[in-house]
Amino acid sequence: MSPRDAIIIDVETSTAVKARYSAADAIVYRCAWNNEHSQACGIFIGGTHKNILSHLRRCHGVGFSTREDINCLWGSCLRAEHLKIGSIPRHVATHLGIRSKCSGCGRVMSREDAVQDHIKKSPGCVGAIVEMVPGPEARLIVSAHR
């Protein structure tokens, strides 16, 4: 094991690998999903909806049936009822404090789909994209390839 591996050892593998082999830095967050002993997971995960969902699936067994309701076990979440698998990533993103920004006018909103809607309806923001605004607990893994 190299020293670099030791530094990023509790980052989820797919995210750590991306930071090592691509030129992009990775932004990670500490997972606070509770295990069966009510201990927070503690692994660092990427902040995209895809990252969140794949981590919850792999490490916490969430969402193997798309029709079951899911209890959010994140920290002391009070909305621990009737979540569907499709709304879990967006819900967890709110725990991480991740917001979305219009690259055209810089407007920041909590929901990605709200920004997409804004771009569609704003002539001044044609061609703008949705940028992720990291939450307060974000940590940066600097790429080894810059």
Site residues (vs Zn ion, CB under 5 A): 31, 33, 41, 43, 59, 72, 74, 77, 102, 104-105, 107, 125
Comparison of 54 and 143: residue with beta carbon closer to Zn ion:
54
Measure the CA–CA gap between 20 and 15, rounded to whole angstroms: 9
- Terminal-to-terminal C-alpha distance of the chain: 22
Comparison of 11 and 72: residue with beta carbon closer to Zn ion:
72
Please give the single-letter amino acid code of residue 37.
Answer: H
Nearest distance, CB of residue 3 and Zn ion, angstroms = 25
Nearest distance, CB of residue 145 and Zn ion, angstroms = 27
The CB-side HSE value for 63 (13 A sphere, CA atoms) comes to 16
Comparison of 107 and 111: residue with beta carbon closer to Zn ion:
107
Nearest distance, CB of residue 6 and Zn ion, angstroms = 20
Nearest distance, CB of residue 87 and Zn ion, angstroms = 10
Comparison of 19 and 70: residue with beta carbon closer to Zn ion:
70
